[in-house]
Amino acid sequence: MTIKYPAGTRQNNSVQNTIRTGKTTKKALTFGKRGMGLEDEINEANDYYLANRLAVVHKKPTPITIVKVDYPARAAAKITEAYFKQASTTDYNGVYQGRYIDFDAKETKNKTSFPLKNFHPHQITHLANILSQGGIGFVIIKFTTLNEGYVYPASSLIKQWQDLKGKQSISYRDIVAQGYLIPESLNPSLDYLKAVDLMLESLK
Amino acid sequence: MTIKYPAGTRQNNSVQNTIRTGKTTKKALTFGKRGMGLEDEINEANDYYLANRLAVVHKKPTPITIVKVDYPARAAAKITEAYFKQASTTDYNGVYQGRYIDFDAKETKNKTSFPLKNFHPHQITHLANILSQGGIGFVIIKFTTLNEGYVYPASSLIKQWQDLKGKQSISYRDIVAQGYLIPESLNPSLDYLKAVDLMLESLK
């Protein structure tokens, strides 16, 4: 899928890899900009933030284990065997008003809860490490059917991850109560820093 | 090259890709830990910082453009055609005492100067963006022959990059004057946060 960016807003913050890693659906969605998955929306927001000097946030490249590389005589090195590797951190990090922010983004079609299996244990550990260093950690959770996106604090996620060993998901009610709704917006379509502002305000 | 980490210090901060991207030499070096290149030394320091809760810094995965992927019936997806892509940011970022830090690391055999061609224009732009957001930006420059490593502020690098359009390198003298020598250390062998502390102190 090719994304058309507004002229001038796309600096060097483009999608770092050309393949999807299964976190965003490929179907046209009815919320936000037509045809944009959550990852595209976040990339668009990051481009907007960079162009408008509001924040510098990049998606990390997909981690790959490279097994074989060909070095043709007059051409670029070609990777001929490689495998996807599980990321040991979250997908996004950067700087916002001097502070470190770090997050992952997930979407679900569920309407009443968010399955915790969407996160890997090392991502939870990573977010806990970030918090212990005074960084700002959160996840963006999008309920695609409801067309609602939330910034959900890492502190809440970590607590529930520990509590809910048996239970499989966080209830929608908890996310509404402890998260921060990302307000509707046109450009960027997912102006998540607005919700981060609310979170930081309430942490003061 | 396999790196042996001290027991317990290697959390999930391992080298993200198994191939080198040409920034570190493969020859055994006479400084630091025998056989460790600069990238290995930084990874070792990051592991140490993570284990001792001093900072959370990770190397970003190498950016790759994936062209072809096979999905065998009962095996993991296999990438069969991909190419190395130029990174649009620096290699390392993370959080240190609540603040965002961002840097790249380069080494040279030169004794009197550091060639600016080691940096790409978009890395300089990225560091400028980081500074404008209040982040801490720098480069680690290692003179391998002299066995000296410096934390060199992004502000100095950006200024010289702009000034030295014609001239090809920063003099060793400038790096000594404007940079912060990384003190000798055993574990980790490249305790670069010590020099970052000096830099932050002088910026106050």
Q: What pLDDT digit, counting tens, does each position of B75-105 carry?
A: 889 999 999 998 889 999 999 999 999 999 9
Decide if B140 is inside a domain. Answer: yes
Residue B175 lies in a domain: yes
Q: Is the pLDDT of residue B73 over 90?
A: no
- Token pair for B118: 């080691």
Residue A29 is assigned to a structural domain of this protein: no
Check: CB of residue B35 under 8 Å from CB of residue B24: no
What does the pLDDT profile of chain A (204 residues) look like in tens digits?
344 444 433 333 333 333 444 444 443 334 445 557 999 999 999 999 999 999 999 999 999 999 999 998 888 899 999 999 988 899 999 999 999 999 999 999 999 999 998 898 999 999 999 999 999 999 999 999 999 999 999 999 999 999 887 468 999 999 999 999 999 999 999 999 999 999 999 987
Q: What is the pLDDT of residue A124?
A: 94
> A23 in a domain, yes or no?
no
Mutate to test the interface with B, among A46, A58, A79 (most CBs of B within 10 A): A79
Structure tokens at A173: 């009610």
Report if residue B64 sits inside a domain: yes
Q: Residue A128: which CATH number? A: 3.40.1350.10
- In chain B, which ranges are E strands? 56-59, 64-70, 78-84, 92-96, 99-108, 113-115, 136-143, 148-153, 169-171, 180-181
Taking the C-alpha atoms of residue A13 and residue A6, their distance in angstroms, rounded to an integer, is 13
Residue B8, class by beta-carbon neighbours within 10 Å (0-12 exposed, 13-18 middle, 19+ buried)? exposed
How many domains, chain B? 1
B29 domain residue, yes or no: no
Residue A27 in any domain: the answer is no
Q: Are B84 and B21 in contact (CB under 8 A)?
A: yes
Domain-embedded: residue B12: no
Contact flag A133-B64 (C-beta cutoff 8 Å): no
The pLDDT tens digits for B164-191 are 874 689 999 999 999 999 999 999 999 9
Q: How many CB pairs under 8 A join A and B?
A: 147
> Residue A56 and residue B80: Cβ atoms within 8 Å?
no
A197 in a labelled binding site: no
Residue A79 CA to residue B66 CA, distance in Å, equals 9
How far A172 CA sits from the closest chain B CA (Å)? Answer: 30
- Rounded to 5 degrees, what angle do the CA atoms B83, B17, B79 make? 45
Residue in chain A closest to B129 (alpha carbons) equals: A56
For position B204, what pLDDT does the model report? Answer: 77
**Pick from A61, A77, A133: which is nearest to B63 by CB?**
A61
Q: What integer pLDDT is reported at residue A204 of this predicted model?
A: 77
pLDDT (0 to 100) of residue A93:
97
Token pair 């990090």: residue: A93
Asked whether the predicted pLDDT for residue B144 surpasses 60, the reply is: yes
User: What is the complex's ipTM, to 2 decimals?
Assistant: 0.80
Structural domain of A99: 38-60+87-203
